Amino acid sequence: MASVTEIEWTDSTWNPITGCTQVGPGCENCYALRFAERWRGIPGHPYEQGFDLRLWPSRLAHPLGWKKPRRIFVNSMSDLFHKEVEWEFVDAVFDVMETADWHTYQVLTKRSSLMRNYVRRRYGSGVVAKHIWLGVSVEDAEHKGRIDHLKEVNSASRFVSFEPLLGPIGPVDLSGIAWAIVGGESGPGARPMDESWAIELRDRCQASSVAFFFKQWGGARPKSGGRLLDGEAWHEFPHTP
């Protein structure tokens, strides 16, 4: 199942895990939860269980059958490093990513310390393969410590998603980060993003030679505010070695 997606910074989504639990203010209006809960209780639907955590071993091999290289967002409907996911299953996901190495995988988590610990367990002093991009979500200054955990991962393909951006990030060291995504919240009750917060991050990325991608302003719908920041479209991708 090659899941079609409208997410601007990826080509496909792959969900060997679905469902999650909230860990911070960035989760309060979670699009994935809102979508999954629409189908709770409908027999035979993939989200019959709503947004309860579920592992899908039958989906593990999907990228192996996708012969054309693509960027794949891993677990757009969950978090690979959820504390209730056994590391043996995470191993199985990484096994596939390492085998189907003609794709680029984008793994994003809010559970940054668990990701760091897993990578240390799996690779020891080795380096994560360059086609596996590991990233953290940071919604405000209070949670930018996740970036410090990310920097403790031995990878040349680290990225940060500042989405939904709910407040100014302030001083932040982006050295060692390859890519940053910035975006506002969308959907019912979307909290607004101030232009100055996004511009500050753009300028910091430029000063640190970090590829910068502005996803959206957000609003009632993802496209409500458009994609221009300071009058320009920003859709840079990292050039990893």
pLDDT at residue 240, rounded to an integer? 63
Alpha helices by DSSP H, 9-163 = 31-37, 87-99, 112-123, 145-151
pLDDT at residue 153, rounded to an integer? 97
Total count of residues recorded for the chain: 241
Pick from 29, 19, 10, 22: nearest CA to 184: 29
Q: Which fold has domain 9-233?
A: TIM Barrel (3.20.20)
The Cα 153–Cα 124 span in angstroms is 10
pLDDT in tens, 71-89: 999 999 999 999 999 999 9
- As beta bridge partners, residue 132 has 105
pLDDT in tens, 137-164: 999 999 999 999 999 999 999 999 999 9
The Cα 59–Cα 56 span in angstroms is 6
Q: Who's near 164: CB < 8 A, 6+ residues apart?
A: 26, 29, 139, 183, 184, 185, 186, 190, 191, 193, 218
Token pair recorded at residue 228: 């221009």
Q: Where are the domains of the chain?
A: 9-233
Is the per-residue pLDDT at 135 higher than 80?
yes
Is the per-residue pLDDT at 18 higher than 50?
yes
pLDDT at residue 1, rounded to an integer? 47
Peptide bond into 164 cis (omega under 30): yes
- The answer to whether residues 12 and 66 touch, using CB atoms and an 8 Å cutoff, is yes
pLDDT at residue 241, rounded to an integer? 55
- The answer to whether residues 219 and 225 touch, using CB atoms and an 8 Å cutoff, is yes
Is the per-residue pLDDT at 2 higher than 60?
no
